[in-house]
Structure formats: structure tokens, C-alpha cells
Structure 1
Amino acid sequence: MGVRYALGALGVAMMGLGGVLTLRTGTAGEVVLWLAGAIVLHDGLIAPLVLGAGPLLAALPARGTVRGGLIVAGALTLVALPLMLRPGSAPNPTVLPLDYVRNWLVLIGVVAVGTGALLGVRRLARRRPSQRRLSQRRRS
């Protein structure tokens, strides 16, 4: 119980430090704008997509594997999205020299292929024991 209170107090202290540093640097308006954008993005796009995908996934026999693939794809998207949506070009061309949209698409494809391969391997693993039982019944 004491550890929980200590970690809670540390978290509150770190939030206070973040608030003080934000006010000192004069970026409070940008932080508020970013937080408002995050709320709109979450409530207007991410939450409806997740709620809509729920009933569709419930009908799948391998919903856990598909859900895992979607979580990985979503995490990759959250990491890559700020770099993909960055307006204009960087002042220093060596800072962000990569084609982030192409690389994100490649990674999403890798996740999709990996998820499909895992589903295939699991399906084959489930079939084999039943085929063994069937061949044993034929022998006896």
C-alpha cells in the first residue's frame, strides 16, 4: 500500500514539474492545442473504429490473433502518424530523410502477413491431431 502512495506522489510531482516547465517555456498554448487534438482524434476516429471492429472480431474463430495484429498495427500507426502528417519539409533535410508513408505501409503489410502466417500455422497445428486420431481409428 505504501508503494502505491509513493508512486502516486511521484507521478503528481512529475506532472507538476511538467506544468511548470511548460509555463516557463511559453508552450502552454501548443500543449493545450495538442491535447484538444488528441481528444478529438480519439473520440471522433479511434474509439468509433474500435467499437465498430468489436462485433466484427467477435464473429471470427481466431479473434485473439487478429486482435493482436490490429493492436500492433495501431501502435505502429500511432508512432508513425506524427512523422507522416508533419507539414512541409524539415529545415534540415537530414533530420527526417525517410519516406515514412512507404515504410509505414511496408510495416503494416509485414504485420498483416505475419498475422496471416500465424493463423495458418495454428490452423495446421489444430488439424494434425484430428488427422492422427482418424488414421488410428482406420488401423483398428
Structure 2
Amino acid sequence: MRAAAGLRVAAGATGAALLGYGAYLLWTDTRAGTPLRVAWWLAGALVLHDGVLAPLVFCLGLLLGAGRARGVVRAGLVTAGCLTLVAGPVLLRPGRPANASVLPLDYPRNLALLLAAVACATLVGVWWRRRGR
């Protein structure tokens, strides 16, 4: 038990140190106004997560995840929600980039393929839970 607590403290200290270093670089190595824009972006991400993603996953988990497979359904929903949030900025970008090599892939198709893979994995997990017990 002590080793696990020590690992948690070490991981937390490492994360805090890296966060501090990132904040230092953001403050010193960027143009004026960038830290404020990053703060607004992070606030928007927090509101989007806590105001949209978490309640949606909770409600869908209650509706769809009855019985033994509830955890599997919620894990699939959380994964799909996080994938959608990560892909959001690329999918919602205004217009085409000036440099075609900046975003060269078909991101809507790739997101759809990833969400289909998550749905398939979730269905397999639900089937496995219901079959196995």
C-alpha cells in the first residue's frame, strides 16, 4: 500500500512540475495575448466537458446501461465523447488552411471510423459480459 501511495505522490509531483514548466513556456515564449487566448480555450473546454459531455454520458449511461454491462456501455460512451471532443477543433475549423499539408487527412471520415470501432468494441464487451456470467 505504501508503494502505491509513493507512486501516486511521484506521479502527481511530476505532473505538477510539467504543468509549471508548460505555464512558464506559455508565459515567456509566446506572443502577447496568447496566454489569455489559451485561458479562454481551456475555460471553454472545461465548460464543454462539465456542461455537455459529462451529463450526456451520465444520462445515456442510465438509459442504455442497464444490468451487468452498465460499466462497458459507460466506458464506450466516455471514449466516444472524448474522441469527439478531441476531434472538435479540427472538424469545426473555419474554411481550408492556407497550407494543404497542415491538415491533410479526411478527419470526419476518420472520426466516423473510430466511433464505429468504439461502438463495435462496446457491443463485444456487452455481449461478453452477458454471455460470461
* Partner Cα separation in structure 2 for residue 115 and residue 97 of structure 1: 30
Distance 1:101 1:94, change over 3 A: same
Contact 2:65/2:74 (8 A) holds in 1: no
1:1-140 equivalences under 5 Å are 8-24=12-28, 25=30, 26=32, 27-120=34-127, 123=130
* Partner Cα separation in structure 2 for residue 122 and residue 4 of structure 1: 31
* Partner Cα separation in structure 1 for residue 49 and residue 22 of structure 2: 23
The TM-score, its normalising length taken from structure 2, stands at 0.71
* Partner Cα separation in structure 2 for residue 92 and residue 36 of structure 1: 29
Distance 1:68 1:95, change over 3 A: same
Give, in angstroms, the shift of residue 37 of structure 1.
0.8
What are the ranges of 5 or more consecutive residues in structure 2 without an aligned counterpart?
none
Larger radius of gyration: 1
The TM-score, its normalising length taken from structure 1, stands at 0.68
Distance 1:109 1:30, change over 3 A: same
Give, in angstroms, the shift of residue 20 of structure 1.
2.3
Q: CA RMSD in A?
A: 2.8
